[in-house]
Amino acid sequence: MSNKKFHLSEEGTDTSIELPVLSSTLGQDVIDIAKVPETGCFTFDPGFGATASCESAITFIDGGKGVLLHRGYPIEQLAAKSDFLETCYLLINGELPSASEKKAFEQTIKDHNNVESSVEQFMAGFSQGSHPMAMLCAVVAAISATYHDSTDVANADDRNLTIIRLLAKMPILAAMCHKHFSGQPYVAPNNDLSYSENFLNMMFGEPGKEPNISPVLAKAMDLIFLLHADHEQNASTSTVRLSGSSGANPFACIAAGIAALWGPAHGGANQAVLEMLEEIGDEKNIDEFILRAKDKEDSFRLMGFGHRVYKNFDPRAKVMKETCDEVLAELGLDNEPLLKIAKRLEQIALEDEYFVEKKLYPNVDFYSGIIMKAIGISPEMFTVIFATGRTVGWISHWNEMLSNPYRIGRPRQRYTGYTKRDYPA
Ligand code: SDX
């Protein structure tokens, strides 16, 4: 509790309430508004831009300074020194693993590196070419049936097993979505490979053929998963928390998170960025798109720019841009036209008064699509990759909520409909 207090009083009456302030270890303290209904009013905050929905110790973002910490560790340091599974362990458990803990964690994931044969039958119900996010959302919800009766969300061991199952199975399901979308045969998981090598092999390998994974691409894939791992109370994480607050099956909650992530304003932006760059087509067309992005009458937005929280560079975008340069150079694609358009677009946008005044900087989605395209991932799969990386964040928040006292989430509203009226006689 902070020593600060706020008083809410109504002009002209003696209605007044005291609102305690709860201190945070970093960032803004919070005003506890539980007593506000005593005034006869609700607070009103569409889009929750000024609302802290929960307590969390997992990730901290300082949007003004472009800071992102996972359990206190800066994302730049994790990107440089850690790997995706170690970061998963950190997000879930709160501390980095020892060497033996990391080895055991990796093996536990491998021990669950499979999906039931019924999943193939389920996937066969989708026509080839169905959007991979539609398939991923549905198939994750479907496997809730496999684990429903054996999962007690109030039991910590069941929750931990759920976390392992999801981390192990998401890459398999994601790769199956790619294979079904492109009409290719599935490739089985291979426990001789690392997490990201195994994913790339299931994506681009062929049944019965020896894996042949570029270490550079495997490292880039691992970094893409790491950079997407968690991001505080974003729309999809809040969706997982809200659905989990009713005690719903965790696989169903993750499916809800996948659905929320799909939108172009959120995780669907990476596919939209690539489509935008391809639509721009040439640097000479950039000015026209900048004008459209600034035109209030035009719904077009510069995809990959802007963020509800970051009013500075998204630190993930900086790391992603460096990786983009490395991967394209390694692949001999450093003259990739889309990269040149992206860099020119970023340079112009960052000098343009509209973007400067509104503090619109490149976000995590701006460069990720270019890397994924260079790796050979189709744009329809970009958000599936995002979801595969973000699963650890979603399930860590779910577990954090269920490991502490919680109530079902139930926002109220500002009602603007009819007053009571009688049905015509
Ligand atoms: C992710 O929340 C998270 O943490 C998300 C995420 C995560 O890891 O989970 O970081 C991942 O979703 C990144 C964001 C990906 N989305 C995009 O790149 C889509 C393009 N960006 C915009 O749609 C927008 O910037 C949002 C959705 C990201 C943020 O929207 P906000 O916070 O609701 O901001 P806003 O719509 O109120 O915009 C403020 C002003 C508006 O102008 P005014 O009405 O004040 O005149 O800025 C303008 C907007 O029109 N604006 C843009 C713009 N983004 C905002 N104008 C042009 N192009 C843009 N991209």
Rounded Cα distance, 22 and 29, in Å: 6
Protein residue whose Cα sits closest to atom 3 of ligand 1: 234
C-alpha 414/C-alpha 421 separation (Å) is 19
- The whole-angstrom separation of Cα 11 and Cα 409 is 32
- Say how far apart CA 313 and CA 362 lie, in whole Å: 6
Q: Percentage helix, strand, coil, to 5, in the chain?
A: 55, 5, 40
Given 32, 62, 112, 266, the catalytic residue: 266
Beta-carbon contacts of 131 under 8 Å, excluding residues fewer than 6 positions away, are 181, 380
Residue whose Cα lies nearest atom 7 of ligand 1: it is 231
Q: What is the per-residue pLDDT for 2?
A: 77
pLDDT of residue 212: 95
Identity at 423, one-letter amino acid code: Y
Sign of the torsion formed by the C-alpha atoms of 93, 97, 101 and 107: positive
Backbone angles phi, psi at 362, to 5 degrees: -60, 140
What local confidence, expressed as pLDDT, does residue 312 receive? 87
- Check residue 148 and give its pLDDT: 85
Which residues line the pocket of ligand 1, CB cutoff 6 A? 231, 234, 265-267, 269, 293, 301-309, 358, 360, 363-365
Q: How far apart are CA 240 and CA 161, in angstroms?
A: 18
- Smallest Cα–Cα separation from 93: which of 406, 404, 403, 396? 396
Using alpha carbons only, give the angle 233, 238, 241 rounded to the nearest 5 degrees.
115
Q: Cα–Cα distance between 402 and 379 in angstroms, integer? A: 35
Is 307 annotated as catalytic? yes
Find the catalytic residue in 178, 231, 307, 397: 307
The sheet with strand 73-74 has its strands ordered as 59-62, 67-70, 73-74
Tokens for 231? 């991001």
Is 14 designated active site?
no
- The number of residues in the chain equals 425
Q: What is the pLDDT of residue 349?
A: 85
Strand residue runs (E) in 248-337: none
Angle between helices 382-402 and 269-280 in degrees, nearest 10: 160
Q: Helix (H, G, I), strand (E, B), or coil: what is residue 371?
A: helix
For ligand 1, mutation pick of 319, 360, 385 (most atoms within 8 Å of CB) = 360
Sorted by sequence, the CB contacts under 8 Å of residue 332 that are 6+ apart come out as none
pLDDT score for 350: 86
Nearest CA to ligand 1 atom 30: 308
How far apart, in whole angstroms, are the C-alpha atoms of residue 15 and residue 182? 64
Mutate to test the pocket of ligand 1, among 297, 363, 367 (most ligand atoms within 8 A of CB): 363
Atom of ligand 1 nearest to the CA of 235: 2
Q: Which amino acid is at 196?
A: S
Q: What is the pLDDT along the chain (425 residues), one digit of tens a residue?
A: 678 899 999 999 988 999 999 999 999 999 999 999 999 999 999 999 999 999 999 999 999 999 999 999 999 999 999 999 999 999 999 999 999 999 999 999 999 999 999 999 999 999 999 999 999 999 999 999 999 888 999 999 999 999 999 999 999 999 999 999 999 999 999 999 999 999 999 999 999 999 999 999 999 999 999 999 999 999 999 999 999 999 999 999 999 999 999 999 999 999 999 999 999 999 999 999 999 999 999 999 999 999 999 998 899 999 999 998 888 888 898 888 888 899 899 998 889 999 999 999 999 999 999 899 999 999 999 999 999 999 999 999 999 999 999 999 999 999 999 999 999 99
Predicted TM-score (pTM) of this structure: 0.95
Q: Are 241 and 408 in contact (CB under 8 A)?
A: no
Instruction: State the first-to-last Cα distance of the chain, in angstroms, to the nearest integer.
Output: 57
Strand (E) or helix (H) holding 8: strand 5-9
Q: What is the CA radius of gyration of the chain?
A: 23
pLDDT at res. 273 = 94
Report the C-alpha gap between 340 and 286 in whole angstroms. Answer: 11
Could you give the CA distance from residue 423 to residue 303 in angstroms, rounded to a whole number?
Answer: 48
- Examine the residue annotation and report whether 365 is marked as an active-site residue of this protein: yes
Pocket mutation for ligand 1, best pick of 58, 237, 305 (most atoms within 8 Å of C-beta): 305
Q: According to the model, what pLDDT value does residue 65 have?
A: 94
Please identify which residue in the block is written with the tokens 């139930």: 410
Coil, strand, or helix at residue 20? strand
Number of H helices, E strands in the chain: 18, 6
Task: Take atom 15 of ligand 1 and give the residue whose Cα is closest.
Answer: 266
Residue 221: name the closest of 204, 233, 240 by CA: 204
**Parallel, antiparallel, or unpaired for β 5-9 and 16-22?**
antiparallel
Nearest to 161 by CA among 151, 148, 171, 149: 151
Amino acid 108 reads: T
Q: Using CA of residue 140, residue 145, residue 150, residue 155, what is the dihedral sign?
A: positive
Atom of ligand 1 nearest to the CA of 305: 60
Q: Are 257 and 390 spatial neighbours (Cβ–Cβ below 8 Å)?
A: yes
